[in-house]
A and B are shown apart, each in its own frame.
Chain A
Amino acid sequence: MDPVKITINGTEVVTEKGKTVIAAAAEAGVAIPHYCYHPKLSIAGNCRMCMVEIEKMPKLQIACNTQVAEGMAVLTQSPKVLAVRKAVMEFLLINHPVDCPICDQAGECMLQNYYMEHNLQESRQDVGKIHDRKKTIFGPNVIFDGERCIKCTRCVRFCQEITKTNELAVINRGDHATISLFDDAVLDNPLSANVVDICPVGALTDRDFRFKVRVWYLQKTPSVCPGCSTGCNISVETYQNEIARFKPRINDAVNQHWICDEGRYCFQGLTEGERLTTPLIRGEGGLMPATWDEALRAVLTGRGSNRATAAILSGRSTNEEAFLFAKLMDKVNAVTAVFYEERALTETQKILMSPDRSPNWRGARDMGVGANGGYEMLMKRIAAGEFTNAFIVGEDPIYTSADAAAARAALEKLSFLVVQDTRLTETAKLAHVVLPATHFGEKDGTYTNRNGRVQRLNAAVLPPEGALQDCEIFSRLLELAGEKLSYATPAQVFAALAKEVAAYGGLSYAAIGDQGVDLKSGGAAAS
């Protein structure tokens, strides 16, 4: 670091040579308003909102493009600065429809916020507004409202610089300038919906989310995307105990400011369908409701003594669940595997997406699940009739298998099948005991991403009454199997696993925080 000393509003700040004034100010806790500036995109300098007064410079300068220099004195709240911000706000609102009451961006719109802070005047514009296009579909996930656009070009630059797919361009000149799809392009790249996140106004909105909830009603829970093993940091945003959307959460070590579309919308797959709320035990009339006590006892007694068990854990299970599951399966001498499915990725997908769809495949293996064999091999062994029992947690092999009939035939060979899941899947329909569990959004715990970064997910919604947390199911089964446990919450389970799993030694929930930590040893090697 090459230190540079500047003053911002009279307060001395030590920053780094090469930094821009806007970045240096942000680090010093001074927010300079801006629209076109985005820390991960090139400098456009077009909104003119971030203008500041710099001593010895005759004109105001844009803070986004001006680099700090030794002794520089910056004023961000001088009368000149406030006047130009007010003017810029007025220009931006000249042709804006000011349709805040029906705009999905209301509540998180930088135009609204800055208007309140810097303009607050009646419009002086009485010569008629330019009417741009409304409701232009840009792609499967994004809709464009030209009237609200302030031409900050963040979306254009995102498609040029991050995805390099170039779907968007600015067309026309002057106040007829507008964002448009380039030629016949469709904005359907794997990261397309990020343009909605970076749009500072309501010009680009999410086709899935729009008109669902006013944003000020949303509860925001920091978490980790369950879509793949990249472990993108997200905010799970909920309304009335339902997940309304995922938004990216900034983490420069993992996903910067972005998430992929597959991850963004994967909550729909987790939450759709009718939930299981009662344990089921197969009787003469098929699967029949049972009490939790009856079902858990059936899990342990139904397998019969000394009969081989195949155990499959979902890659969406947390480290804590995997830790307890491994202990439980150890008790019954089971052969374990973590569900694993890999796909080929395009260059654009590779920007964020992992070939491995299971968000915690690596963490589960670190906990000892599947350490001696893979998922595919275990399924082959089930098909070959090597097992009489199976315990499948959170996966539906009949659905995920390329050959559903073969998977079904393999599972039908089993004399005792336990399925722990949130819904009555095709696999669960074959089970002898079904345990209603919880999905990603309902649980606390940790994931370890493919690069060995341990990160926390947090329960954003409550599970339905009758379903139990997977950790609790495993704990109760372990107790029934004779294990004395001294922990009840995921945080306590993590403390225990940190003692037993060397790579996680010394870690704690608190240390992981909201940004995660890298395993010092790199965790168990992926295979």
Chain B
Amino acid sequence: MEKVLLRNIGVPDSHLLATYQSRGGYASWQKVVSSMKPEQLIEEVKASGLRGRGGAGFPTGMKWSFVPKDNPKPKYVVCNADESEPGTFKDRLLIEQDPHAIVEGTLIAAFAIQSHTSFIYIRGEMAFGAKRLEQAVQEAYGAGLMGKNVLGTGYDIDLIVHRGAGAYICGEETGLLSSLEGGRGWPKVKPPFPATHGLFGCPTVVNNVETLATLPWILERGAAAYSAMGTEKSKGTKLFSVSGHVAKPGVYEVEMGYPFKKFLEEDCGGVANGKKLKGVIPGGGSMPVLKPEELEKVNLDYESVQAAGSLLGSGGVIVMDETTCMVRAALNLGRFFAHESCGQCSPCREGVHWMEKILHRIEHGQGQKGDLDLILNVAGNIAGNTICPFGDAAAWPPGAFIRKFRDEFEAHIAAGKCTVTH
């Protein structure tokens, strides 16, 4: 399979403009800015079938088309580089190794909605990545690829790299916008949606790093080439960051629809040390865990993973072998989400911590009869009832862990200790 996203990874000095341009970089941007109409560009991306790679999988071209053309306010594109889902590290690879692809993709998206100021919002902890992006932006300015009168076309575009202060919720698009506006990283109620009332109340598109980095290839090779890859509803390729008890952890690019079992066993070398597989979280820490039998026929595309009872999400594949204590795993995730709950809306603010405390009690041998049903009930009361999807993200993992490994949880409570590792 031809690499769309990882094509420059591993090339010496892949982060430099000269290297990027020597491999055809910015040709798509030149083509877009000098010869395409925004509507034409949007149609091309729609035709490619590209869906957002941040987790929700919303069609990218359609998202752009929601931006009103007749709104006189400034329009913004914000590249969401606030990656921080447990188990997800695909964007970081692109940010550090192929920053110009992100810059070029952001410029293309900006042109699609006729934005003249756009942003790359990067997680504060990614200091090295931020440096690489800032360097890439400066190089692009120096080459006249952005700024005033880009390549003599009359189009002006400024791109600003903004470092966040480090909060998971700032990866949620409206929380990101609040943070970018200088406020507390709190999600906003929708409607209104960012497409009409986004950054500073202006029309805004927020796209994930991977989504934007895909655009140069699509514009270079054409929508048909991209949509020829993948499945009927999940087009193209996707990055998967693989971690946990796996022989070859790392970031992989595969065609959508790639069989998971083959991916795990052949591409990733299978479960490490010859151990048996116990469970896999297929889409980052917020997604429900799947048991080995549920993974038998799963393919790596949105629909297939959903049919199995989980979601593709960000593509953060977390592999757990037979030695994994699922109580501890659930607590580990619960602790993360409790720490990262922004505290804005009642169910998430109070409920996520409550679940974590109960899990903590079970893990430490103080579990009580009824704890599992209580967690399931609390999780059910959180999911779907919060301002942003964080509530779902925090509620799904413990719910899934308990439903799928209930025996192990019950044994843990009964024994007052882990029955897997002790």
B347 engages A94 (CB within 8 Å):
no
Closest to A49 in B: B346
Known pairs A88-B346, A91-B350; A173 contacts B386 (CB<8 A) = no
* Interface residue B241 (Cβ < 8 Å from any Cβ of A): no
Q: Which of A119-135 contact B (CB under 8 A)?
A: 124-125, 127-128, 130
Known pairs A47-B346, A95-B350; A174 contacts B338 (CB<8 A) = yes
Q: Which of A91, A127, A130 lies in contact with B351, CB distance below 8 A?
A: A91
Cα–Cα distance between A316 and B45 once the two chains are bound (Å): 72
* 6 A-B pairs with the lowest CB-CB distances in the bound complex, closest first: A177-B343, A45-B189, A87-B381, A127-B357, A91-B350, A174-B341
* Interface residue B344 (Cβ < 8 Å from any Cβ of A): yes
0 or 1 for each of B226-246: is its CB under 8 Å from A? (1 = yes): 000000000000000000000
Provide the residues of chain A in CB contact with B349, threshold 8 Å. 91, 151, 174-175, 177
Q: Which of A45, A60, A91, A173 lies in contact with B343, CB distance below 8 A?
A: A173
Cα–Cα distance between A128 and B167 once the two chains are bound (Å): 26
B346 engages A84 (CB within 8 Å):
no
* Interface residue A398 (Cβ < 8 Å from any Cβ of B): no
* Interface residue A261 (Cβ < 8 Å from any Cβ of B): no
**What distance in Å separates the Cβ of A66 from its nearest Cβ neighbour in chain B?**
8
Q: Which of A3-57 contact B (CB under 8 A)?
A: 43-49, 51
14 of the cross-chain contacts (CB-CB < 8 Å) are A43-B189, A46-B346, A48-B345, A48-B346, A91-B347, A91-B349, A91-B351, A94-B350, A94-B351, A95-B350, A175-B343, A175-B349, A176-B343, A177-B344
Cα–Cα distance between A504 and B216 once the two chains are bound (Å): 76
A90 engages B343 (CB within 8 Å):
no
Cα–Cα distance between A87 and B347 once the two chains are bound (Å): 8
0 or 1 for each of A136-172: is its CB under 8 Å from B? (1 = yes): 0000000000000011000000000000000001101
**What distance in Å separates the Cβ of B186 from its nearest Cβ neighbour in chain A?**
8
* Interface residue B339 (Cβ < 8 Å from any Cβ of A): yes
Closest to B352 in A: A174
* Interface residue A62 (Cβ < 8 Å from any Cβ of B): yes
Provide the residues of chain B in CB contact with A177, threshold 8 Å. 342-344, 349
Cα–Cα distance between A488 and B189 once the two chains are bound (Å): 58
* Interface residue A65 (Cβ < 8 Å from any Cβ of B): yes
Closest to B383 in A: A59
* Interface residue B10 (Cβ < 8 Å from any Cβ of A): no
Closest to A62 in B: B189
A59 engages B345 (CB within 8 Å):
no
Known pairs A90-B381, A127-B357; A47 contacts B345 (CB<8 A) = yes
B342 engages A59 (CB within 8 Å):
no
A170 engages B343 (CB within 8 Å):
yes
Q: Which of B336-383 contact A (CB under 8 A)?
A: 338-347, 349-354, 357-358, 361, 374, 381
Q: Which of A62, A94, A130, A174 lies in contact with B342, CB distance below 8 A?
A: A174
Q: Which of A91, A124, A130 lies in contact with B346, CB distance below 8 A?
A: A91
Cα–Cα distance between A150 and B349 once the two chains are bound (Å): 10
**What distance in Å separates the Cβ of A375 from its nearest Cβ neighbour in chain B?**
49
* Interface residue A92 (Cβ < 8 Å from any Cβ of B): yes
* Interface residue B184 (Cβ < 8 Å from any Cβ of A): yes
Cα–Cα distance between A44 and B184 once the two chains are bound (Å): 13
Identify 16 new A-B residue pairs, CB closer than 8 A, beyond the known A125-B354, A174-B343: A43-B189, A44-B189, A46-B344, A46-B387, A48-B385, A65-B191, A150-B346, A169-B184, A170-B184, A173-B343, A174-B338, A174-B342, A174-B349, A175-B343, A175-B349, A176-B343
Known pairs A43-B189, A125-B354; A92 contacts B346 (CB<8 A) = yes
Known pairs A48-B347, A175-B350, A176-B343; A91 contacts B189 (CB<8 A) = no
* Interface residue B384 (Cβ < 8 Å from any Cβ of A): yes
Q: Which of B353, B374, B381, B385 lies in contact with A175, CB distance below 8 A?
A: B353
Provide the residues of chain B in CB contact with A124, threshold 8 Å. 374
Provide the residues of chain B in CB contact with A170, threshold 8 Å. 184, 343
Provide the residues of chain B in CB contact with A87, threshold 8 Å. 347, 381, 385
Q: Which of A191-222 contact B (CB under 8 A)?
A: none
**What distance in Å separates the Cβ of A215 from its nearest Cβ neighbour in chain B?**
25
B344 engages A84 (CB within 8 Å):
no
Closest to B366 in A: A127
B387 engages A174 (CB within 8 Å):
no
Q: Which of B167, B339, B387 lies in contact with A45, CB distance below 8 A?
A: B387
Cα–Cα distance between A51 and B382 once the two chains are bound (Å): 13
Provide the residues of chain A in CB contact with B191, threshold 8 Å. 65, 67
Q: Which of A79-126 contact B (CB under 8 A)?
A: 84, 87-88, 90-92, 94-95, 124-125
Provide the residues of chain B in CB contact with A174, threshold 8 Å. 338-343, 349, 352-353
**What distance in Å separates the Cβ of B327 from its nearest Cβ neighbour in chain A?**
16
Cα–Cα distance between A51 and B386 once the two chains are bound (Å): 10
Known pairs A48-B347, A151-B349; A84 contacts B381 (CB<8 A) = yes
**What distance in Å separates the Cβ of A212 from its nearest Cβ neighbour in chain B?**
31
**What distance in Å separates the Cβ of B184 from its nearest Cβ neighbour in chain A?**
6
Cα–Cα distance between A43 and B352 once the two chains are bound (Å): 24
**What distance in Å separates the Cβ of A115 from its nearest Cβ neighbour in chain B?**
14
Closest to A86 in B: B381
Provide the residues of chain A in CB contact with B189, threshold 8 Å. 43-45, 62, 65
Provide the residues of chain B in CB contact with A127, threshold 8 Å. 354, 357-358, 361
Cα–Cα distance between A177 and B349 once the two chains are bound (Å): 8
Provide the residues of chain B in CB contact with A62, threshold 8 Å. 189
**What distance in Å separates the Cβ of B194 from its nearest Cβ neighbour in chain A?**
15
Closest to B167 in A: A173
B350 engages A92 (CB within 8 Å):
yes
Closest to A127 in B: B357
Cα–Cα distance between A170 and B345 once the two chains are bound (Å): 12
Closest to A66 in B: B191
Provide the residues of chain A in CB contact with B361, threshold 8 Å. 127
Provide the residues of chain A in CB contact with B353, threshold 8 Å. 130, 174-175
Provide the residues of chain A in CB contact with B384, threshold 8 Å. 59-60
Q: Which of B187-207 contact A (CB under 8 A)?
A: 189, 191
Provide the residues of chain B in CB contact with A65, threshold 8 Å. 189, 191
Cα–Cα distance between A84 and B380 once the two chains are bound (Å): 10
Provide the residues of chain B in CB contact with A95, threshold 8 Å. 350
Most chain B beta-carbon contacts within 10 A, residue among A47, A124, A177:
A177
Cα–Cα distance between A168 and B253 once the two chains are bound (Å): 48
Provide the residues of chain A in CB contact with B341, threshold 8 Å. 173-175
B381 engages A151 (CB within 8 Å):
no
Cα–Cα distance between A94 and B346 once the two chains are bound (Å): 10
Provide the residues of chain B in CB contact with A151, threshold 8 Å. 343-344, 346, 349
Most chain B beta-carbon contacts within 10 A, residue among A125, A130, A175:
A175
**What distance in Å separates the Cβ of A174 from its nearest Cβ neighbour in chain B?**
4
Provide the residues of chain A in CB contact with B350, threshold 8 Å. 91-92, 94-95, 175
0 or 1 for each of A420-437: is its CB under 8 Å from B? (1 = yes): 000000000000000000
Provide the residues of chain B in CB contact with A88, threshold 8 Å. 346-347, 385
Provide the residues of chain A in CB contact with B338, threshold 8 Å. 174-175
